Amino acid sequence: MIKRISGFQILAILWLLISGCSTNKAFKSNVDWKDFLSKQDPVWDTLTPYFYDGPMTGNGLIGTVLHKMDKNRFDGDTNKILFEINRADLVDSCSRRPEGYYWSRMQVGRFEFKPKGVIYNTNLRIDLRNAELVGKITTSEGVIHIRHYTHAELPVVVTELTSEGNENSDNWKFVPDISGCLVDLKELDKQEKGIYDTNPEATVQTSNGIMLHKQLLKHSRRSFTVGSTSKKVGRTTVYYSTIAYSNPVKAKYFSAEDILSSALLENAENLLVSHRTWWNAYFQQSFVSVPDPRILNYYWVQRYVTGSAMREGLQMMDLMGPWYCHTLWQGIWWNLNSQLMYSHLFSSNNVNAAKPYCAIFDDHLPALIQNVPAQFRHNSAGLGRASSFDLRSDVDPQDSIPPYYNREVGNLTWALQNYYLYCRYSMDDSLLKTNFFPLLKKSVNLYINLAFKEKDGKFHLPVTMSPEYKPAPDCNYDLSMFRWGLQTLIAVAERLQLDNALIPGWKNLLSNLTDYHKNERGLLIGKGVEMVTAHRHFSHLSMIYPLGILTNDNPENEALIRKSIEYWIGLSGSDKAAWSYSWTASAYAFIGDGNTAYKYLNGFFNFANRKHYWELPGIGANTMYREVGMCSETPFSFNKSVNDMLIQSHADVINIFPAVPDVWKDASFMNLRTEGAFLVSAAREAGITKFFSVESLAGEPCIIKSDIKVDSLLTSPHVKFTKISEYVFSVPIQKNQQITFYKSSTQNLQLRNITTGGIENNYWGSKKNKR
């Protein structure tokens, strides 16, 4: 790990200018996107009745999941194909959850298709590049060809069914699910086994050939309308469907009848072309290739799911996005889940998808202030364990009712780390100054109001809650968030010349804040409280990762980091989650241990594939993860771990291939983004970095570390750079300038996808002969 290096230190250390010899070599991409992504497609030669196994589509607002009918669900007709449909911002004010959020997601319904014959075979795939479910279903009467997609930019789901033989494509209807807020779970994942506070009976009407199923919501008196229509040409029937909502969170309001009438008038080919154009461009934002098909396929399916669930201009994503399955997690969780869910966007060069995450704080500042006790509202803000899109969720440091939900003081500060990363990766100093900085001050002020000085001369914190584990004084979780908040306030204030009078006070608090509590086994929960049973949350270790406060810059720190991680992840018991393993992979990547990071990256699959809940694996065939319901943060955290092994940016240093395991002899990436708004591409062959290329989008100072000795670097075009150490240098890169660095022995600068040595691709999806 590299310590922060100031501009003065750079000058004082060396003043050695190295002239990079220049040639006419230039970095080129040799990626065949169509061929590459086709190898990542999930494929199905069988359909199961389970939500977590079915192909998914979405556009950030509306989503679908396709699966067979379960013999124990609904009418039990297993010869039906179900297209479940939902909308991401559809909520009613009827939550009964103890976490305290007031609005709750709910189920909508499904379109049922019943072929004429008995289903014999299924051959389907998600064509990732075009974001379409395509394939065929073979029956005793013929074949049904399917093309199904949720349009990239319009709130319309398109399902094209073409029949052959004696089959027909006309037996299609909408069936509403039990509509209402969940009161109690009776059987996991089975919607009809829950107890619901049901809504009034829906009204159904047909207008201009469009079916309109209008559902009034019992508590808020809002409503949603499922609309469906179709047109037929020869033996092809095209079905159009949508969900309109009376009170959209961020999306523009539309009526179901209007949007479907427009879809009917639009040329079907034009709809498809515009949909594909968006998705083709989306995937080319960045590129990653490693020689492990299971990891690589999973990574690219998550890129697809991200594009299906997170969109600029819409609401932020909760744990389910535009889909819904029977779940306890009907809101937005702020003590880990949302932070994990959005953390992979920045290095993936998908920063615009994080705008709704930032906007929700800007839009609901009064709620964040209202969340804290009255005596702190003059200067503080906070966020409890879970909320809906209104961010109402109380924080009460004096909460005396077990399990102390409201004592989680640090959630807003942690949530704001992603806001800060958005500003750093986009270099949006205007947003940093006007929105982020004032809000971080309010969040840190809650800690300042609670902090007190003891006889040791150190500032301490009262009893707070380490998320979902136990309360403790001087909670390491809160000490970490307090310390990160102070450091960030100081860094932003000094960069932008803000609140200079407050900086000395922040620095005093920072230098006199009590140290983290630890023992011979590593870091504790807090003063006098040790984790003694297995637990999924790594909150007490957050100073290691993702905050990066405790680094391995000396042997003592590295020993503490390693034994703390191993003790926590090694505790026996079932109360872990798959993201416990992806976090561990990222933490080891952060200290440069690629082999151990790789071990735990595979441990993610080993844990998640264990059988639980109905004796089913945690990861379904569609790659979604379940823990008493859909938990999207888990697969997204996997992508962050992969990115962390390939590139990092911390303490003003870009670190290229910082934690590549020995088994990844070849690896490549293109346009991964770093703090300072740099786009970085790099290629590694036979265990050696061949070249890397850096493009500046903002003209910020640039310090780079790689495994190529600085003295042997050549550049294209010619540039002078300053050596800091054997593998670290600084280089002036102008805004919109791109510079490629390479070894003299490198013959070409082509970036390509990595071959997998004949190992099977298309790992995910449902297969009769499952690997």
Query: What distance in Å separates the CA atoms of residue 59 and residue 79, rounded to the nearest whole number?
Result: 28
What does the longest C-alpha to C-alpha distance in the chain come to? 87
More confident of the two residues 532 and 13: 532
pLDDT band at 434 (very low <50, low <70, confident <90, very high): very high
Confirm whether pTM is higher than 0.85. yes
- SS3 of 493, please? helix
Q: State residue 616's pLDDT score.
A: 56
Average pLDDT across the chain, whole number: 91
Q: Are 733 and 13 contacting, i.e. CB atoms less than 8 angstroms apart?
A: no
Q: What is the b/e burial string over 666-692, where b = at least 16 CB atoms within 10 angstroms of the residue's CB?
A: bbbbbbbbbbbbbbbbbbbeeeebbbb
Give, to the nearest 10 degrees, the angle between helix 293-309 and helix 633-646: 120
- SS3 of 613, please? coil
183-197, 264-278, 525-539, 600-614: least confident range: 183-197
7-11, 45-49, 376-380, 383-387: least confident range: 7-11
State the burial class of residue 156 (Cβ atoms within 10 Å of its Cβ: 0-12, 13-18, 19+).
buried
Q: State residue 433's pLDDT score.
A: 98
Q: Mind listing the pLDDT tens digit for each residue in 265-309?
A: 999 999 999 999 999 999 999 999 999 999 999 999 999 999 999
pLDDT surpasses 50 at 771: no
Residue whose structure tokens are 């191993």: 566
Please give the structure tokens belonging to residue 568: 């926590």
Q: φ, ψ for residue 739 (rounded to 5)?
A: -130, 135
Q: What is the b/e burial string over 590-617, where b = at least 16 CB atoms within 10 angstroms of the residue's CB?
A: bbbbbebbbbbbbbbbebbeeeeeeebb
Phi-psi region of 122 (alpha: psi -120 to 50; beta: other; left: phi over 0): beta
135-149, 199-213, 332-346, 625-639: least confident range: 625-639
Q: State residue 8's pLDDT score.
A: 31
More confident of the two residues 103 and 337: 337
Q: Mind listing the pLDDT tens digit for each residue in 47-75?
A: 999 889 999 999 999 999 999 998 888 88
Mean pLDDT of 166-189: 82
Positions of E strands within 234-285 = 236-245
Mean pLDDT of 141-164: 98
Residue type, position 543, single letter: M
- Closest C-alpha to 62, from 214, 256, 209, 337: 256
Give all domains of the chain, ordered by start, each with its CATH number.
Answer: 7-30+654-751 (2.60.40.1180), 46-287 (2.70.98.50), 331-576 (1.50.10.10)
More confident of the two residues 745 and 320: 320
pLDDT surpasses 50 at 5: no
Q: Are 411 and 472 contacting, i.e. CB atoms less than 8 angstroms apart?
A: no
